[in-house]
Structure 1
Amino acid sequence: MKNFWLLLAGGIAALVLLSNLGPLIGLAVSLAVLYFIFKQFLKTDSFGWKIVLGIVGVFVLLTAASNIPAIIGIVAAYVLFVVYKKWNNQKPTYKQDNDPFQNFEKQWSELNKN
């Protein structure tokens, strides 16, 4: 039953991740552009170029902020990762009575008593 719930949670997380793939890509691209703008802003010595980079940086930051639904996609990716880890770390569930060696020991001790 636990596998069913893990499969259900993983399926829902995968669907949410796929539905938010566009905002995730948009967020990644806008953050990469913002990073390069910031690096150029720190490198330049020209006051005019710093103003231009600052204005462009604010517009790119607003573009990144408009991709807030990507946070839901990031959470879904994390849930999918957790489900994957739990699925692989499950221990097999079996009863001790079904172990053939223990049954053999029980039967051997019963034969020795007779």
Structure 2
Amino acid sequence: MNKFWMTVIGVIAGIIALSNLGPIIGLAFSGVIIYIGVHYYLRSTSTAAKILWAIVGTVGALSAVSNVPAIIGVLAIAVLWYIYKNWNEETIAAPVKNDPFTNFEKQWDKLTK
């Protein structure tokens, strides 16, 4: 892929990522709420505490479901990362076979000189 198309795709992915920044932050916040709810649910011993932390986890899960557009933003960020990593990538030549007989012959020639 040449740099022109990488630039075009990068600009489009950047616009999508910026436009979905709010839902991405909301999804991250929902994930923290779910984590807290599950963490304290597993540590609690009383039934009332388990019910309370289950409700907190459920609220976090419902909040995460409402932030589903953030998945598109996360995919756009992944595309930007891919473009960043492959910006200066050069073509790789065919790998050189590591033939033990060829290496032996090269070393034998060095020894006999």
User: Shorter-chain TM-score category?
Assistant: 0.7 to 0.9
Distance in 1 separating the partners of 2:44 and 2:5: 54
Deviation at 1:37, TM superposition (A): 1.2
| Aligned-partner SS, 1:88 | coil
User: What's the counterpart of residue 100 of structure 1?
Assistant: none
Q: Is it true that 1:4 corresponds to 2:4 in the alignment?
A: yes
User: Distance in 2 between the 1:86 and 1:79 partners?
Assistant: 11
- TM, length-normalised to structure 2: 0.76
Structure 2 stretches lacking a partner, 5+ long: 92-113
- In 1, the alpha carbon distance for the partners of 2:67 and 2:34 equals 14
Within 2, Cα distance between the matches of 1:17 and 1:57? 27
Match of residue 44 from structure 1: 44
Percent of pairs with identical residues? 45
TM-score for both structures, normalised by structure 1: 0.75
| Secondary structure of the corresponding residue to residue 71 of structure 2 | helix
Structure with bigger helix share is: 1
Task: Give deviations 1:15-73, integer Å, cap 9, x for gaps.
Answer: 00000000000000110111011110000101011111112211110001110000000
List alignment gaps of at least 5 residues for structure 1. Answer: 92-114
2:64 maps to a residue whose letter is A
Counterpart of 2:9, as a letter, is: A
Q: Distance in 2 between matches of 1:3 and 1:22?
A: 30
In 2, Cα distance between equivalents of 1:22 and 1:43: 32
Aligned residues: 91
Q: Distance in 2 between matches of 1:19 and 1:90?
A: 32
Matched with 2:32 is 32
For the aligned residues, what is the CA RMSD? Answer: 1.3
Correspondence 1:13-92 to 2 at 5 A: 13-90=13-90
